[in-house]
């Protein structure tokens, strides 16, 4: 018998905090999760595992960041408003994030007055923040809605298809069956191939555009940032189509 076992990450929601989101460029509510590394047997794990860290996910843009929970006064189950959440969970946010908030104010006021080095670093920032998300998606075989539908369609093709055509053409035999099987496999393979492209279009480009828009980056600056990501070996540098990002920025 084939035994599948190993370690896997286990996530447990702890509560909410207020924090700064570098994609939204403002303070938002975040869901905080404990990340544990637990042993699994057939992908079923027992317990929450050894502590591997914590992550926070922005309630507005759904981007996840690794976080240090020591900076929060507490992590709460719920809060009536963002202002209350901020007071309860991160009351000294203004002090801790002072430099970043001052920089954000400069970006909002006059992004073109920032120095060339500042602009380059700020434009590269969102690409770096989203690089891991792209890396992770390209390494996995996660199914999206369309791939799921293709699987259902493939199942229908392989069952109802041959039955219907054999009723119409009784002499078809195995060739008909084979034809439908090839068609079904081709449909699923095609959808799996374009699923990653869809992920870039739906889950990465809009976030990049959101984070970059206030900086009003030029085409040259965007090209330079992408080239830098490519040189560093990040998939986002290869998979991102610049015209798609430019279209969303303008």
Q: Which is nearer to Zn ion, 66 or 149 (by Cβ)?
A: 66
User: How many CB atoms within 10 Å of residue 113?
Assistant: 10
Q: Which range binds Zn ion by CB under 5 A, 14-22, 132-140, 142-150, 181-189?
A: 14-22
**Shortest Cβ 58–Zn ion spacing (Å):** 3
Q: Which residues, other chains included, contact 125 with Cβ-Cβ below 8 Å and sequence gap of 6+?
A: 22, 211
In Å, how far from its chain's centre is CA 91? 29
Comparison of 24 and 37: residue with beta carbon closer to Zn ion: 24
DSSP state of 112: G
Q: How many chain residues bind Zn ion (CB under 5 A)?
A: 6
Helix (H, G, I), strand (E, B) or coil at 237: helix
At residue 123, what are phi and psi to the nearest 5 degrees?
A: -75, -35
Binding mask 46-85 for Zn ion (x = CB under 5 A): ------------x-xx------------------------
* Closer of 61 and 177 to Zn ion (Cβ): 61
**Alpha-carbon span 167 to 175, nearest angstrom:** 14
Strand partners, 101: none
DSSP track, 2-40: ---EEEEEEEEEEEEEEEEETTTTEEEEEEEEEEEEEEE
Smallest distance from the beta carbon of 24 to Zn ion, in angstroms? 3
Closest approach of Zn ion to the CB of residue 230, in Å = 26
Q: In terms of CB distance, is 45 or 86 closer to Zn ion?
A: 86
Q: Does 209 bind Zn ion (CB under 5 A)?
A: no
* 21 part of the interface to Zn ion, by CB under 5 A: yes
Cβ proximity to Zn ion, 9 vs 65, nearer residue = 65
Does residue 24 belong to the site contacting Zn ion (CB under 5 A)? yes
Q: What are phi and psi of 233, to 5 degrees?
A: 85, 20
| Contacting positions for Zn ion (CB under 5 A) | 21, 23-24, 58, 60-61
């Amino acid at each position: 018998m084939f035994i599948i076992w190993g370690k896997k990450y286990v996530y447990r929601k702890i509560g909410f905090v207020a924090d700064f989101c570098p994609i939204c460029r403002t303070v938002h509510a975040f869901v905080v999760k404990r990340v544990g590394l637990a042993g699994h047997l057939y992908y079923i794990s027992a317990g929450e595992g050894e502590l591997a860290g914590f992550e926070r996910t922005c309630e507005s843009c759904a981007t996840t960041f690794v976080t240090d929970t020591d900076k929060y006064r507490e992590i709460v189950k719920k809060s009536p408003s963002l202002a209350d959440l901020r007071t309860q969970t991160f009351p000294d946010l203004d002090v801790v994030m002072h430099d970043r908030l001052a920089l954000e104010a400069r970006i909002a006021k006059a992004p073109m007055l920032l120095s060339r080095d500042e602009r380059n670093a700020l434009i590269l920032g969102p690409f770096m923040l989203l690089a891991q998300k792209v890396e992770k998606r390209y390494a996995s075989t996660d199914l999206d809605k369309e791939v799921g539908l293709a699987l259902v369609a493939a199942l229908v093709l392989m069952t109802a298809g041959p039955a219907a055509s054999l009723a119409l053409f009784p002499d078809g035999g195995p060739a008909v069956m084979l034809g439908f099987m090839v068609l079904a496999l081709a449909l699923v393979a095609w959808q799996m191939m374009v699923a990653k492209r869809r992920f870039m279009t739906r889950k990465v480009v809009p976030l990049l555009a959101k984070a970059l828009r206030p900086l009003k980056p030029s085409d040259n600056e965007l090209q330079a940032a992408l080239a830098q990501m490519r040189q560093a070996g990040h998939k986002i540098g290869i998979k991102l189509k610049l015209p798609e990002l430019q279209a969303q920025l303008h």
